[in-house]
Amino acid sequence: MTKEEHHLYETIDFSVKEFRESVGAKKLPTEDKKTLLVRRWREPCLSIHGIEGAFSGAGEKTVIPSKVIGKFSIRIVPHMKPEKNSFPRDPIVHATFVQVQVKLIKFPSELYCVKHKEEFFQVNKMVVDYLNELWKKRGSPNTFTPGVGHDALPWLADTNDANFKAGARAMKIVHGVDPDYIREGCSIPITLTFQELTGKSVLLLPLGAADDMAHSQNEKINKVNYVQGVKTLLAYLLELGKV
């Protein structure tokens, strides 16, 4: 992270106490605001989000399924690619990236210490190979078949360009506050496709609330966010027209 990016996280209006209470946690891994937000929004992460085949209803059934499918996702960050992953040359980003890789995958750090040399890895293959290695150590007679569902490259934009500045002005006009540049990850692969095909700046303009439960069964948008969102979009178009 650059000094400017560090400063952005220090000025974000965020209460660790309120966040802890909202998620129902008695304790968080860290109480430091910046560290918590960086881990939540910027760093690679792994999440388990589904199990098929096992009994999931109310009660305590003891039926053992013959087949179970588990689902998890790994969010990658800029300079990582799901198929071929080249390590960046920037020493600060390089050091951070190496630390994550050694920590999660436990590859020898000597591989990354060659100055000005790019190493290519396949993230998907690394994960599958690692899972197969763990399964082999279990010595189980059962069958284990890991596979990749789908993947997408990370998207990163320049928040200082005219498009983002127009969006920031629109937020200020409607909501009366300057927006925070949080750099949160989300699963919208088409964003990068639009940017690459058009060669233009692409802006994701947030209109909802943090508790909208996006992509879930009970996804919603509050009336106030809907109305203010319409105003924000109109203000954005007006501001963009001034560029």
pLDDT in tens, the chain (243 residues): 778 888 888 888 889 999 999 889 999 999 999 999 988 888 888 888 888 888 888 888 888 888 889 898 888 777 666 665 443 333 333 333 333 332 333 333 333 323 222 333 467 788 888 899 999 999 988 888 888 877 777 788 888 999 999 999 999 999 999 998 888 767 787 888 888 889 899 998 889 888 888 878 889 999 999 999 999 999 999 999 998
The answer to whether residue 37 is domain-embedded is no
Q: In terms of DSSP H, where are the helices of 106-222?
A: 123-138, 162-175, 190-198
Full domain range(s) for residue 112: 43-138
Q: What is the pLDDT of residue 84?
A: 52
The answer to whether residue 48 is domain-embedded is yes
Residues 176 and 126 in one domain: no
The answer to whether residue 195 is domain-embedded is yes
Residues 129 and 167 in one domain: no
The answer to whether residue 94 is domain-embedded is yes
Please enumerate in sequence order all residues whose Cβ is within 8 A of that of 172, keeping only pairs 6 or more positions apart, or say none. 178, 179
Q: What is the pLDDT of residue 15?
A: 93
Q: What is the pLDDT of residue 238?
A: 97
The residue count for the chain: 243
Residues 62 and 108 in one domain: yes
Q: What is the pLDDT of residue 233?
A: 96
Q: What is the pLDDT of residue 18?
A: 93
Domain boundary among 138, 172, 191: 138
Q: What is the pLDDT of residue 61?
A: 86
- Structurally, the chain folds into a number of domains equal to 2
Please enumerate in sequence order all residues whose Cβ is within 8 A of that of 39, keeping only pairs 6 or more positions apart, or say none. 29, 30, 45
DSSP-assigned states of every residue in 65-107:
PS--EEEEEEE--TT--SSSEEPPS-HHHHHHHHHHHHHHH--
φ, ψ of residue 112 to 5 degrees: the values are -105, 0
CATH code (residue 235): 1.10.150
Residues 171 and 227 in one domain: yes
The answer to whether residue 34 is domain-embedded is no
Q: What is the pLDDT of residue 192?
A: 83
